[in-house]
Structure 1
Amino acid sequence: MTLKVVVVGAGVVGAACAFHAASAGMDVAVVDRGPVGAGTTSRGEGNILLSDKEPGPELDLARLSRTLWEEIGQELGPASFELEPKGGLVVAGTAEGLAALHAFAARQAAAGVHIEPVTRLREVEPLITPGLRGGVLYSQDAQVQPVLATAALLRAAVRRGARLHTGEVVGAVTGGAGRVTGVRMGAGEVLPADAVVNAAGTWGGEVGRRLGAPVEVLPRRGFVLVTEPLPVVVRHKVYSADYVANVASSDAGLETSCVVEGTRGGTILIGASRERVGFDTTMNTAVVARLAVQACRLFPFLREVHLIRAYRGFRPYCPDHLPVVGPDPRVTGVVHACGHEGAGIGLAPATGALVTAHLLGRPWRGADPAAHTGLLPDRFFTSGGAPQ
């Protein structure tokens, strides 16, 4: 019997889940209340990073995902979503910061990440500010155009039989023993399902609640600045070492750390900010100014470059800053794939493969459920199913 799967969310994670599930021969329906990739996916920089991840469950998923992005590029054509293996350069301005960065990189290297300490930074990035103490080059870091990547994955899923639905999931339909048998849409329509994948990004907590399986997924607002198009002047994704600490922080206040990278279209993207303000979409010009100042300190030539726009969005994160991927122990048939914070684009292919492996009950495309137990939703619950 063909497994019927409803994927809730047409962002990059939902698209990757649909791509892998359809490739495995499942009957897949993708549901979203808005356009493809219109949520957090459209507000990201397209990063595929190993450089910012501590050894552990997320880095393990990221390493698999980096391989799968390469395979997807070979299958779908890397130009179709601007897959660019540009590499990342992490820099430190003080001796203490450089020592901490080298220690962090050594732990990553022991986990299988390719690293290269750099002392002459201007040989790698000729226009970077002088006086920095050094850095680490991560050759495996890459970038995609996130909306193009999402669309490419969904087109491939549709070619394999998947269907797209526009609408809002308002609840689960359950049968014997509380197992999911479908989802109820806002207009009353029921989509039959043997399994429902919660890939709703920032709204993953609410969708989980509607399915009877709530998970704590919270929004974290971030801004990205975009410059006028330029020739190639920034060769890598370049960021300061304090970015890693800011990613892992649970502080509610504003945090910014300098991140600068070019795009294939010539624009330069500048980030990154993080703040817990709920779903407040207010444009904060003070954050924009702060990011611009930090970017100009790292690359002084940017003082003469025009900004053409700034955009903001919400990164969906869990309290322990790890995504939640796998079957929910409270409602049979619900599988979560959300809470990736700012790493959803990079982690999407491996998340989709891991979800598919859980649905199949066996490894799929290098993803083995037994190797990724640290991402399961039951880490948030006691044996009785109550929140910890």
Structure 2
Amino acid sequence: MTGERPDVLVIGAGVVGAACAYFCAAAGLRVAVLERGGVAGGTTSGGEGNILVSDKSPSPELDLALLSVRLWGELGERFGPDAFELEHKGGVVVAQSPEAARGLAALTAEQRGLGVEAVDVSATELAELEPNLTPDVCAGAFYPQDMQVQPMLAAAELLRGARALGATVHTGTEVLAFRCTREAVQGVVTNRGEFAARWVVNAAGTWGGAVSELAGAPVPVLPRRGFVLVTEPLPRVIRHKVYTADYVANVASGDAGLETSVVVEGTRAGTVLIGASRERVGFDRQFSLPVVRKLAAQALGVFPFLADVALLRSYLGFRPYCPDHLPVIGADPRLPGLVHACGHEGAGIGLAAATGHLIAQELTGAKPDLDLTPFRADRFADRSTEEQT
């Protein structure tokens, strides 16, 4: 075994793993983070940095998002907003048809009843919020709680905070196997030796399914590919995160085929990010010109001025998708000592703070702020293999 035995091994140094490490270390636990690549080199590097409540329908995920928004705000105060490039920018959802407007109004009414700040706005008010928005809109909603961070920076800063509290971070360290007795996990075997701990946290993002298989307690986490376009730097011409009302439906869809719904937002650096696409194609990293063209065309439908703006690049990432669109969070009842923090799909950055906080509460014996039952790892036991693939 390597070095001193920590209380917690966290597998994965993306933003979720970093949050788990930070909150566990802040709770007084001894923590070691194992990452096969570099910090934030996987799913986190392909994210836009969204911290959202606006795209969450009433569900346990919305409860998780509301908790996370509060915690990200507290982390911003603790670390300083520049540490994460945290922006309280707010979100704007637009409806481009009367039917979409009615659906959006019904959603905001439900959300408000659960603690979401959702303000219904008219087409005229949309123009005041976003002067460069297309006039072809019927109505919309403004969500002041929505925020944004720079995801790789956030992961690095949280790990820096964890190290200041005594945690260790081991990059280039790939988990090859679990050491288990019949009763519990004892540790892991890596390409750099063995690590023992009381708990092992699976925060491996899109590869969380593969890690769970190594432990012999599988969870059905699958990759869902998405592209993001990046424009040349501009003055701050887009003030909020802006997306169309059909984005929420696409997020909730389990269709394996290509789905796109436009999401446009500016960054502190001046570039504009354009998403979002979703398709289940395994870990295929091949560039797709049709997807990029479709995203660009949809962006023009919301912000026509982008027709005269140059695209600098595009990038892709793999969202860790679970069949019921809920992450897997908490101790695995099938294998004591194994803890999961994965399967957040495209919301992992936003939900990271709450996930890390809840994991730390559970491991220290504190009562979690949320009921973790909806996120249990064994909830898939009754699903057929066909449903999970």
2:48 maps to amino acid = E
Q: Secondary structure at the match of 1:226?
A: strand
Match of 2:24 in 1: 21
Identical pairs, percent:
60
Return 5+ residue gaps in structure 1 as ranges: none
Q: Secondary structure at the match of 1:178?
A: coil
Q: CA deviation at 1:379?
A: 1.4
Match of 1:99 in 2: 102
**One of 23, 30, 41 as aligned partner of 2:33:** 30
Match of 2:44 in 1: 41
The answer to whether 1:271 aligns with 2:275 is yes
For 1:309 and 1:50, how far apart are their aligned partners in 2?
28
**One of 230, 240, 253 as aligned partner of 1:226:** 230
The answer to whether 1:357 aligns with 2:358 is no
Runs of 4+ in 1 over 6 A off after TM superposition: none
Return 5+ residue gaps in structure 2 as ranges: none
For 2:256 and 2:381, how far apart are their aligned partners in 1?
24
Match of 1:168 in 2: 174
**One of 117, 123, 127 as aligned partner of 2:128:** 123
Q: Secondary structure at the match of 1:6?
A: strand
1:373 maps to amino acid = T
Match of 1:368 in 2: 369
Q: What is the CA deviation profile of residues 356-382 of structure 1, one whole-angstrom value per residue up to 9, with x for unaligned ones? A: 11111213xxx435x232111121125
Q: CA deviation at 1:209?
A: 0.8
For 1:373 and 1:3, how far apart are their aligned partners in 2?
27
Match of 1:309 in 2: 313
Q: CA deviation at 1:179?
A: 1.0
After superposition, residues 276-315 of structure 1 pair within 5 angstroms as 276-315=280-319
For 1:351 and 1:238, how far apart are their aligned partners in 2?
26
Taking only aligned residues, the RMSD between alpha carbons, in angstroms, comes to: 1.4
For 2:381 and 2:26, how far apart are their aligned partners in 1?
32
- Of stretches 162-171 and 258-267 in structure 1, the one that deviates more from structure 2 is 162-171
**One of 168, 189, 206 as aligned partner of 1:184:** 189
The answer to whether 1:51 aligns with 2:54 is yes
After superposition, residues 171-250 of structure 1 pair within 5 angstroms as 171-175=177-181, 177-187=182-192, 189-250=193-254
The answer to whether 1:140 aligns with 2:145 is yes
Q: CA deviation at 1:3?
A: 6.3
Q: What is the CA deviation profile of residues 202-239 of structure 1, one whole-angstrom value per residue up to 9, with x for unaligned ones? A: 00000011112111000000000000000010000000
Contact persistence 2:330–2:372 (CA under 8 A): no
The answer to whether 1:76 aligns with 2:102 is no
For 2:197 and 2:215, how far apart are their aligned partners in 1?
12
Q: What is the CA deviation profile of residues 293-331 of structure 1, one whole-angstrom value per residue up to 9, with x for unaligned ones? A: 110110010000000000001000110010010111111
Match of 2:64 in 1: 61
For 2:308 and 2:6, how far apart are their aligned partners in 1?
57
Contact persistence 2:101–2:139 (CA under 8 A): yes
1:32 maps to amino acid = E
1:5 maps to amino acid = V
Say how many residue pairs are matched: 378
